[in-house]
Chain A
């Protein structure tokens, strides 16, 4: 048994355990990549980061962007999944077309979106101006830049939620819906009192997966705004990147990576707890 597990354990050690242990080790060092000998400084990196106004601002940005985009993706994904569930024709074609943004490489998708949103000569601005509509400053205004990122993330990842929820609906016992219909429930009541309660475990599952993924939000924000204007769209992962790869402070960047890991782990633990509780209710 152990022999069978050895290859995967070896791979896990190389790609997961070793980097994680290294990151934790480095987080206790003052380690400047540009020169000098690393020095052990205990928890100083953590103390410095937790007292850093920029870190808290970035955490708030991350929560706003992740919260809004995952909520929007859930609502739109559910609506589209229900529409597909009710549709009788063209379901495969529509779901395929909807899923296309999700299969595009994130950086390629981000570059495409940049040429869509870029000021004045972007596709969106040019189109709106041709209809005499004065477009907002998509990437240059602190508020609009956040909204643009939320829309961009939704475009990219909503299809994933749609597909999973649609698969969940496919496994749904139609007799329950028929019974509700016979009892006089209208479409909204069937959704509110039959479909959504039955789908709760699956909804929590996809939200957990997406939230975990979205918290590591990097590609889109790096290409579209690079955290700007100023730090208006800077996320925790982008700040980690700035500290590690621009400021070359490996110790501090590692500490921020560990803090992010703890936050995401706590968030996921909370969601798993909710899932298991809801799961018991559901079954």
Chain B
């Protein structure tokens, strides 16, 4: 009986085994689609879809999820210098953090090279600034999002109420319209990272903001305590379960006639007038938050990983193609366009009735502090703020504890030298 495995077989197998990694690597480089990890809301879903067809022969795999999950995955990939992530969604906060860590590709040269081809001069400067860190461009603007004071115009008229110009009026309006369990006076979203977004306006108008110029916490001073006390008072008239509510549930509360007012992202306005998703079509109005707004403003952007194995010029062209003017017009209902040609188009301003309010709100909005460690700091003080709002701790004690913890963390990261 002949041997089943001869020397030739062994040699052939060994040769194939040795060659396999090289063959597979070559196949990988050519075939593996561009990988995107992104947050998910209708505007980002639209652009993720556009990325798939932006360039011929360039396949894109999109992984869309809630912001905290997306950020977690991105950090894991970037901190391990993985080349498995090519492009990523970032906002102003994460962009600063990633850029400071050296995880993002600076786009200045590519921006200059392709400026004319993709009419990049049309981007408004505020949006480009929101995608920059230390004077370098790191992202391509998708939208600049802000929060609006959303209220039920019909209910306000019925009760003879005016949009609140002070926080006391805002609480009073919520109290007047509070009729549980049928409908509540207000909706709040205090889950996870939404806490600092919800409180940005009250902290900037009633309080002194989050940090001073040396990055020392000021949210625990007397005015900061008063700001959190206002939210605590407001929460009496809020849809229950607000500590487990993020953007999706918050939108449902407004669109399903469960809440009479609340802060709402500009990207969620279109849903309110979508008859397939809303019971209050045409009934919601928008304006600026009380006492001059100063509410949150966040630029959403696409960035290129420094560790990608793909051609960076190709990736830049992919992003620029997906975000070209024609596509931004298509997304005008879903996201505030960063291109002037689209944003200032009178026809679009007339078509989307929340656009004038968005423009007003953007004019008075304030970005979150440009602290690269803001995500980590907010992770600490957001918990403490919620403990104060639900009465687990006294407000002053909770904010003092948060300030001590944040300072300790920042000191460890090299601040206050």
Contact = CB atoms under 8 A, between A and B. Distances in A.
Contact of B253 (A33, A121, A225): A121
Nearest to A241: B72
A140 B72 CA distance: 25
A32 B75 CA distance: 12
Interface in A134-153: 134-135, 137-142, 145
Interface string A28-47: 00101111000000000000
A34 B373 contact: yes
A231 B387 contact: yes
A246 B379 CA distance: 7
A119 B241 contact: yes
A32 B413 contact: yes
By DSSP majority rule, is chain A's interface helix, strand, loop, or mixed? loop
Interface string A120-163: 11100100010000110111111001000000000000000000
A62 B409 CA distance: 25
A247 B390 contact: no
A226 interface: yes
B407 interface: no
A202 interface: no
Contacts of B241: 117-120, 122, 137-140
Contacts of B387: 229-231
B192 interface: yes
Interface residues of A, number: 37
Interface residues of B, number: 42
B101 A35 contact: yes
Contacts of B102: 35
A21 B372 CA distance: 32
Given A34-B101, A118-B249, A121-B252, A228 B243 contact: yes
A224 B253 CA distance: 17
A32 B372 CA distance: 14
Given A119-B239, A139-B243, A247-B376, A129 B181 contact: yes
A228 B258 contact: no
B253 A140 contact: no
A248 interface: yes
Report, nearest first, the 7 A-B pairs whose CB atoms are least far apart. A119-B241, A230-B387, A119-B240, A229-B243, A139-B244, A140-B241, A137-B240
Given A118-B244, A139-B243, 17 more contacts: A32-B412, A33-B75, A34-B372, A34-B413, A114-B244, A140-B244, A226-B192, A228-B386, A229-B386, A230-B243, A230-B383, A230-B390, A231-B387, A245-B76, A246-B72, A247-B379, A247-B409
5 contacts: A119-B239, A140-B242, A228-B190, A230-B384, A232-B390
Interface of B: 68, 72, 75-76, 79, 97, 100-102, 181, 184, 190-192, 239-245, 249, 252-253, 256, 258, 372-373, 375-376, 379, 383-384, 386-387, 389-390, 392-393, 409, 412-413
